[in-house]
Chain A
Amino acid sequence: MDSFLKINIPGGILEQIHSHCERSYPEEGAGLMLGKEEDDRRAVAYLFILENAREDAARHNRYLITAADMLAGEKEAKRLGLSILGIFHSHPDHPNQPSEFDREYALPWYSYLITSVQGGQVVDSKCWRLRDNRAGFVPEEIILTD
């Protein structure tokens, strides 16, 4: 895995992610990014927005997508002829860098899009993928598409 990783995201979908993250503030918002990967070209086509399943007291700095949510996401992806490509979540009042907790719980292959929300306003999003050896994340360039 190298630094040339790229993910195509339509501008409208990135706006939906940002809107959800602002609505979720000061809690963390999260969901699944569905799309296709063909010949190493990864493109998001649809969002599967989910409720943060963590208990109330932890939602300001943790998110959880349950196995049942993942199954529902898989079914929706299959219905649309897509796959789950990755997960988006927000870091309220925190940079969009993956945390140690993110690394500990991450799976390989998935794209992890993290949106920094400061004072209720989205600052920026960055995308990452876990290294095969789990030692850290590799940045994945977001290519905005129509």
Chain B
Amino acid sequence: MPTLKIPTPLRPYTSGESTITLPGETVAEVLKALVERHPELKRHLLGDNGQLRPYVNLFLKEENVNQLQGLETPLTEGDTLLIIPSIAGGKEHRRDHAP
């Protein structure tokens, strides 16, 4: 089964676990298994539309899965998937500027 590495800010929602082995043959299936096991993680990983939040990046063998097949990227036994956040923000939103 693939292994998922959890970054520090999300470990309070995995009972402190930093590495979790989960069933799944694609990135989407592993993520589904993760949020089923740790439901409180869902709001921090997925938006209301069920897609990954913009700051959540998943890396497989040092490649962002967005550069592979996205959530449909296949995983094999022994693969390690890393959740790496990116950080964004800024002063008050203005309608004349894209996020």
A residues near B (Cβ < 8 Å) are 28, 30, 58, 61-67, 69-71, 83-84, 87, 89, 91-92, 94, 98-102, 104-110, 112, 132-134
B12 / chain A contacts, CB cutoff of 8 Å: 108-109
Our count of residue pairs bridging A and B at CB distance below 8 angstroms stands at 98
- A91-B91 contact given A67-B86, A70-B86, A109-B9, CB 8 Å threshold: yes
**Interface magnitude class on chain B:** 20 to 34
Asked whether B86 lies within 8 Å of A99 as measured between CB atoms, the reply is no
B residues near A (Cβ < 8 Å) are 8-13, 40, 43-44, 53-55, 57, 59, 64, 84-94, 97-99
For chain B, what secondary structure do more than half of its interface residues adopt (helix, strand, loop), or is it mixed? mixed
Which of B13, B54, B92, B94 sits near A105, CB closer than 8 Å?
A: B54
| Residue in chain B with minimal CB distance to A134 | B43
Docked pose: A105 CA to B99 CA in angstroms: 10
Asked whether B8 lies within 8 Å of A109 as measured between CB atoms, the reply is yes
Asked whether B90 lies within 8 Å of A28 as measured between CB atoms, the reply is yes
Asked whether B91 lies within 8 Å of A64 as measured between CB atoms, the reply is no
Asked whether A133 lies within 8 Å of B43 as measured between CB atoms, the reply is yes
Could you say which of B44, B53, B90, B94 has the most chain A C-beta atoms within 10 Å of its C-beta? B90
| Residue in chain A with minimal CB distance to B83 | A67
Asked whether B92 lies within 8 Å of A101 as measured between CB atoms, the reply is yes
Asked whether A101 lies within 8 Å of B89 as measured between CB atoms, the reply is yes
